[in-house]
């Protein structure tokens, strides 16, 4: 039995959290035992994790020094309880977690979930330190690997996969849900994402206003949570089309929300390989995405990149002048490596292989 400790900040519905949960759900539990270490009390998967028999540990700290001390203390106490630390983060400053795990005798895997740009000397120093204490490097895309570890590193690309069968489109379900939410007959512009700078909701609201000017039947559906939620709600409230902007909370049944939409829009400043785009494509939706998103996410003909620097008017024209018909692209997703049950087998091989390599 190989014992894996997944390490992350908090567990919410969607995003990286879903990647972790999908590994836990479909891994062979006769050969691999998963546990979870969080640096926050926020855990929206409590019941499901308990039903799967997953142990959840929590540490706390208000700053780098406190968190560093807490991680070191945790691995000192639990050095014989785990074989592998699988660290899920979006910046190489997580090196101190990998270092603490290695000092505790664990093999270390660092998993990059975001692509972006380097940010100076401190960033490069963190990356240097991270590479020194990492036994295996994983990234959701080649670009995300370059961002976290640098170019020409031995990085394994593990695609953000989904349980594809859950996202198949059903016309009957769509009609029922649209009636439930009062969206029957509307042209629904959908977006699922954390309310954060990265997701660029300011651009999204402005683009929707231009879409709404050209199509009076349009409505914007925003689903998510995050530190900028109140700010985005205030911006929407001041929009001339505020009655056509709908906020819904995240849900474990997120696949239902895709049934409400006619198109999906993601004008992000930066991303890794967004799960929402894989989910939206699985549902057959046409997706309009900023060109800052990794091209690796284009696995079907249902995704169109738009230059982020183009005006709101140009975005609206591109959206409205493109066909919006849903398409069945499930086979394409499976063939391109986005089916979770198939993908988890490759993660199992990574876990097994790393245990065969002598510790550094």
Shared domain for 187 and 222, answered yes or no, is: yes
Shared domain for 168 and 265, answered yes or no, is: yes
The answer on pLDDT for 13 being more than 80 is no
Domain count of the chain?
2
DSSP-assigned states of every residue in 269-296? S--SS-HHHHHHHHTT-EEEEETTS-GG
pLDDT at residue 64, as a whole number: 86
Query: In the predicted model, what is the mean pLDDT of residues 134-147?
Result: 91
Query: In the predicted model, what is the mean pLDDT of residues 270-288?
Result: 90
Shared domain for 73 and 157, answered yes or no, is: yes
- 294 vs 66, higher pLDDT: 66
> What is the extent of the structural domain holding 244?
164-335
Shared domain for 181 and 286, answered yes or no, is: yes
Q: Does the pTM exceed 0.85?
A: no
Shared domain for 142 and 14, answered yes or no, is: yes
CA distances from 281 to 44, 156, 188, 262 (A): 25, 24, 16, 12
Shared domain for 325 and 345, answered yes or no, is: no
d(CA 98, CA 95): 5
Band of residue 301 on the pLDDT scale cut at 50, 70, 90 = confident
Residue 124 and residue 118 in contact, taking contact as beta carbons nearer than 8 Å: yes
Question: Which tens digits make up the pLDDT trace of 96-105?
Answer: 999 999 999 9
CATH of the domain at 299: 3.40.50.2000
Shared domain for 188 and 171, answered yes or no, is: yes
Q: Around Cβ 31, how many Cβ atoms within 10 Å?
A: 11
Name the region of 38 (left: φ>0; alpha: ψ -120 to 50; beta: rest). Answer: beta
Question: Which tens digits make up the pLDDT trace of 218-253?
Answer: 999 999 988 999 999 999 999 999 999 999 988 767
């Amino acid at each position: 039995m190989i014992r894996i400790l997944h390490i992350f900040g908090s567990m919410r519905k969607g995003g990286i959290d879903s990647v972790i949960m999908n590994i836990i759900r479909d891994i062979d539990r006769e050969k691999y035992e998963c546990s979870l270490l969080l640096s926050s009390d926020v855990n929206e998967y409590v019941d499901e994790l308990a039903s799967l028999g997953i142990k959840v540990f929590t540490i706390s700290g208000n700053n780098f020094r406190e968190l560093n001390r807490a991680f070191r203390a945790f691995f000192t106490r639990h050095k014989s309880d785990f074989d592998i630390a699988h660290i899920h983060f979006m910046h190489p400053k997580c090196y101190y977690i990998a270092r603490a795990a290695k000092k505790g005798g664990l093999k270390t895997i660092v998993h990059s979930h975001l692509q972006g740009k380097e940010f100076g000397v401190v960033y490069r120093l963190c990356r240097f330190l991270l590479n020194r204490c990492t036994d295996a490097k994983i990234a959701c895309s080649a670009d995300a690997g370059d961002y976290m570890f640098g170019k020409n590193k031995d990085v394994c690309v593990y695609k953000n996969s989904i349980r594809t069968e859950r996202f198949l489109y059903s016309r009957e379900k769509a009609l029922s849900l649209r009636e439930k939410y009062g969206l029957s007959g509307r042209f629904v512009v959908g977006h699922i994402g954390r309310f954060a700078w990265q997701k660029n909701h300011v651009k999204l609201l402005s683009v929707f206003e231009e879409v709404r000017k050209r199509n009076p039947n349009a409505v914007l559906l925003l689903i998510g949570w995050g530190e900028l939620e109140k700010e985005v709600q205030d911006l929407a409230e001041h929009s001339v089309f505020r009655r056509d902007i709908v906020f819904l909370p995240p849900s474990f049944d997120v696949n239902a929300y895709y049934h409400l939409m006619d198109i999906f829009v993601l004008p992000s400043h930066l991303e890794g390989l967004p799960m929402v785009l894989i989910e939206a494509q699985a549902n057959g939706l046409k997706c309009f995405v900023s060109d800052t998103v990794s091209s690796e996410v284009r696995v079907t003909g249902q995704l169109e990149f738009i230059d982020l620097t183009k005006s709101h008017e140009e975005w609206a024209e591109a959206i409205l002048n493109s066909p919006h018909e849903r398409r069945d692209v499930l086979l394409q997703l499976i063939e391109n490596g986005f089916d979770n049950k198939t993908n988890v087998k490759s993660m199992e091989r990574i876990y097994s292989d790393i245990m065969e390599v002598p510790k550094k």
